[in-house]
A and B are shown apart, each in its own frame.
Chain A
Amino acid sequence: MNAPLLETSALKKFFSIRQGAFGETRDLKAVDGLDLRLHEGETLGIAGESGCGKSTVARLIMGLVPPSAGAISYRGRNLAEMGRNEQFAFRKDVQMVFQDPFSSLNPRMRVGDIIAEPLAIHGLASGAQKRNAVLDLMAKVGLAEEHFTRYPHEFSGGQRQRIGIARALAVSPRLIIADEPVSALDLSIQAQIINLLQELKKELSLSFLFIAHDLSVVRHMSDRVAIMYLGKIVESGSRDAVFSRYLHPYTEALLSAVPRIKAQQRGKRIILQGDIPSPLAPPPGCPFHTRCPYAETPLCTEVPPPLEEKEAGHMAACHLSGKLYR
């Protein structure tokens, strides 16, 4: 098999936090040993609650923050070992769509210039050619020609997200990192943007790393899914494996907490006690044991469970997996 399009191995990001003016510094383990693999043409969904480190993963891959340890490879090449030109090419191939369409567009630039900027940076087009390329992109994401000279504030949230998507597509990327691309949008607009991303994926044979907290959106978009908790992957596998044959108690609780429209889809709700522990002081043993309804053995409280393949392609980090009551 070919090398995966994107791979991270034992990727870590620790932020040093000083507590109090003279306090000692401690490590906030935002991402703590992450192994991801994303194949060409695939959508990998990352889901988890706030503070689980999913946005830090996106920032690490984009090179916006340097990793503390571990490696990121693109088409089998380690990012850290790439020369300037190779890195520049990587930055063209991998583009990001941000969560907040209000703060990710420069308010003083016209829409046409926003979308054209990456073309100019990568020297891909100029003059009339550039203008035509931008108009093509705008048509592709459902913007009208007359929007070319308008400013971001004249647009609604959904349209701004379309501008952000057009900008990401300008340099013909291979991989799109989308960090909560629809969570700021209204329901009827959310469906439009989800469909747009799906169409573009098919039309341009793109790959996606799709990060979101809304499980029904992740389920809809992803071929494979990884669930994160406190900087670690607790479960990963195909969409159906994770959503229908989940092995980790956290995945189970997360799915049971989603409010359901249809009464027949409602199972027994598991109400987790307490909050997510602070990543500054993650619990020893299994990071989830403080809230886990099943954790009882000393194994759970003392030994961190490794992420193991429990069935073909389906990984879970739990000492008890297979013992869920469902």
Chain B
Amino acid sequence: MSTLLQVSGLSTHFHLPQGTLKAVDGIDFSLESGKTLAIVGESGCGKSVTAYSIMRLIMPPGRIESGEILFEGRDLLRLSEREMQELRGNQISMVFQEPMTSLNPVLTVGRQIAEGLLLHRNLSRDEARAEGTALLRQVGIPSPEARCNDYPHQLSGGMRQRVVIAMALSCRPRLLIADEPTTALDVTIQAQILELIDRLQSDSGMGLVLITHDLGIVAERALHTAIMYAGKIVEYAETEEIFSNPLHPYTQGLLAALPQNAVPGEPLSTIPGQVPNLLSDSPGCGFCERCPVKEWACLQEKPAMKEAAVDHLVRCWKFQ
């Protein structure tokens, strides 16, 4: 298997009047083609900024400060904007959380799908239309010929997300970045969409970076999992290993807090406190304020990522 995506030392900061917000603060991961990596974390942990950084869609006051994003061996951060446009939507695609905001409300669905095809695959208008219809059929939209003439508001949430996925897949990308692709959807529709992505992935060998906060989806779909907290990856391993042998206190806390893992009606285990404000940069571990096993060292200095078990990386002083 070849490495499709290799991210190393990526830092994306936002320069705000109040100070520098280190949304992504030195993260490393890699993904092989055909495989799925899940990036998990709560709001504000930097998982979406990671996705936007790979797509190079960070706008001021945000800036990618350092790092390397190797896509099939090429560093995306060294490409010109023009070269990046060639890749974006073509070899690297993204599905956003809220389908209504990623579709243009005043263009028909067919027109929007055709856009990528005209731009990247040099199809004629008729060919693009035929291909667009085929894509809509592939993602399970009934009577796609008629749906092509619909505007986004005429479709249900599940349908819209299918359209967004059809658009993302229209140029047969090598890498798909899906940022909470099913969070806005009902659970029966979510099951449909996840099956669809699964099928397309095994058909085409596409790599998938799946960003989500739903640990159930992660457990079922991803080969590897990265747990993010306060801009850093705090634990990284194969998904099965993380769920059966979580080492970081934050991961342990998350898994214990799930109603699924509890006896109904009994108190849930909680992580006290709240997600830290990333503007106030403390010298110690980002999690130490909420950590049940913190020690003196945790407050003084940030721990490094260490291999605590085979292929199981943890950022915690307990494992230094």
Contacts and interface: CB of A to CB of B under 8 A. Distances in A.
B200 interface: no
A188 B44 CA distance: 13
A188 B159 contact: no
Interface string B256-290: 01111110110111111011000000000000000
A293 B274 CA distance: 44
Interface of B: 42-43, 142, 156-159, 186-192, 194-195, 213-217, 219-221, 243, 253-255, 257-262, 264-265, 267-272, 274-275
Nearest to B240: A263
B257 A216 contact: no
Interface of A: 49-50, 156, 158-159, 186-192, 194-195, 198-199, 213-217, 219-221, 239, 253-254, 256-263, 265-266, 269, 271-272, 274-276
Contact of A271 (B191, B264, B268): B191
Given A49-B187, A50-B186, A239-B264, A188 B142 contact: no
A172 B190 CA distance: 40
Interface of chain B, helix or strand or loop or mixed? helix
B262 A192 contact: no
A195 B265 CA distance: 9
Contacts of A191: 257-259, 268-271
A275 B158 contact: yes
Given A191-B270, A239-B264, A272 B257 contact: no
Given A188-B42, A213-B186, A194 B215 contact: no
B187 A254 contact: yes
Given A186-B42, A216-B258, A275 B217 contact: no
Contact of B216 (A220, A253, A258, A274): A258
Interface of chain A, helix or strand or loop or mixed? helix
A189 B268 contact: no
Given A195-B267, A213-B187, A188 B257 contact: yes
A43 B221 CA distance: 34
A158 B270 contact: no
Given A188-B270, A191-B268, A239-B264, A259 B188 contact: no
A187 B262 CA distance: 14
A140 to B, nearest CB: 16
Contacts of A187: 42, 213, 215, 254, 257-258
A257 B190 CA distance: 8
5 contacts: A158-B274, A220-B259, A221-B265, A254-B188, A261-B215
B254 A261 contact: no
A198 B159 contact: no
A256 B188 CA distance: 9
Given A156-B275, A188-B271, A266-B220, A217 B259 contact: yes
B254 A188 contact: yes
A261 B215 CA distance: 7
B192 A271 contact: yes
A192 B270 contact: yes
Nearest to B243: A261
Contacts of A156: 274-275
B264 A219 contact: yes
A245 to B, nearest CB: 15
Contacts of B271: 188, 191
